[in-house]
Amino acid sequence: MEIAKLGRSGLRVSRLCLGTMNFGPKTTESDSYAIMDRALDHGINFWDTANVYGWKKGEGVTEQILGRYFAQGGGRREKVVLATKVYGDMGDWPNESRLSALHIRRACEESLRRMQTDYIDLYQMHHVWRDAPWEEIWQAMELLVQQGKVIYVGSSNFAGWHIAKANEAAKRRNILGLVSEQCHYSLRARKVETDVLPACADYGLGVIPWSPLAGGFLAGKPKADDSGRRNEGGTAEAMQKDREQLEKWETLCGKIGQAPADVALAWLLHQPTVTAPIIGPRTMEQLDGSLRALEIKLDGWTLAQIDEIFPGYKTAPEEFAW
């Protein structure tokens, strides 16, 4: 397994990140355990979850599955760089969501309890919250770091200027600030190239793309027995609407002799700001198959062909003006 630093930090993580969102809703607990064991066998040490995953308000279903897995011992927790998130609704009372200092501290304690660990390696803000000043947010995060409950802090779904404001506020407090940004980035979602990726490069944030296969679109047309996301509403509609683009993509991947999903992941791994795309396997086969992307090297001709099929964006402000 290839290893890379997470942004400017000294933290070393695998170049694929195990996403756990399917654990509970779509993958049974026993199958989730098997996938996590296999991920460690492959050297995938970077795992991502969130307190809202499992989609039962306040229960943290997926975090609980991870906690019971870690409780089995055998060095499981110590081998993992564990990332979770705070922001979403965990209850119906006013301070059971978002990024007040009160909720950040409470949510962290609850995530620690569910995951049966005494520290979180990477604590990510799942979304920006404009109603809380950065002084309040960093006060809460700084305290968690001082207490040893959080090691690093990251963002998710931030705009470039949010990243700038957050890290400038952190500088005023003489603390490390954000070390990563988890953003929606794939060949079908390249808007972050205008300002988010340049901000990450400038401030030294590692980029962790979510939905790298665009909901399954970039894996190509599904087989008749495929029960995954490609047969579900939004992706199925996109495949019909953008059939010509999909066919060009599949033809290009056929020319270079690689599976479309593997090429899509490989393309992300070729982007200089990307540390580790998040793979969210429902099955062991999907996990094993994703490793092929690490072996694919895309030449200049192939990258140019990909850009013709999925045009990207210039860095701002050039994208918007001369």
Residue 221 has pLDDT above 70, yes or no: yes
261 inside domain: yes
Q: Please compute the mean of the pLDDT values over residues 150-167 and round it to a whole number.
A: 98
Q: 3-class secondary structure for 67-136?
A: HHHHCCCCCHHHHCEEEEEECCCCCCCCCCCCCCHHHHHHHHHHHHHHHCCCCEEEEEECCCCCCCCHHH
319 inside domain: no
pLDDT tens profile 243-283: 999 999 999 999 999 999 999 999 999 999 999 999 999 99
Q: Is 53 a catalytic residue?
A: yes
44 inside domain: yes
- Helices vs strands, H then E, count in the chain: 12, 10
> Hey, what are 248's tokens?
């060009």
Q: Are 86 and 125 in contact (CB under 8 A)?
A: yes
Q: Please compute the mean of the pLDDT values over residues 18-40 and round it to a whole number.
A: 97
Q: Are 205 and 181 in contact (CB under 8 A)?
A: yes
Distance CA 170, CA 262 (A): 38
- Residues of the domain holding 222: 3-309
Q: Please compute the mean of the pLDDT values over residues 104-127 and round it to a whole number.
A: 98
- Looking at the structure of the chain, the number of domains it has is 1
The neighbour count for residue 36, using CB atoms within 10 Å, is 22
What pLDDT, on a 0 to 100 scale, did the predictor assign at position 136? 98
Distance CA 45, CA 34 (A): 15
pTM reported for the whole predicted model: 0.95
Residue 138 has pLDDT above 90, yes or no: yes
Q: What are the phi and psi torsion angles at 21 (to 5°)? A: -60, -30
Residue 226 has pLDDT above 80, yes or no: no
* Paired sense of beta strands 17-19 and 278-279, if any: parallel
167 inside domain: yes
Among residues 53, 69, 123, 185, the one annotated as catalytic is: 53
318 inside domain: no
What pLDDT, on a 0 to 100 scale, did the predictor assign at position 223? 73
Q: Are 254 and 260 in contact (CB under 8 A)?
A: no
User: Which whole-number Å values give the CA distances from 302 to 32, 189, 265, in the listed order?
Assistant: 36, 19, 14
321 inside domain: no
79 inside domain: yes
320 inside domain: no
Residue 8 has pLDDT above 90, yes or no: yes
Read off the CATH number of the domain in which 234 is found.
3.20.20.100
Q: How far is CA 267 from the centre of its chain?
A: 16
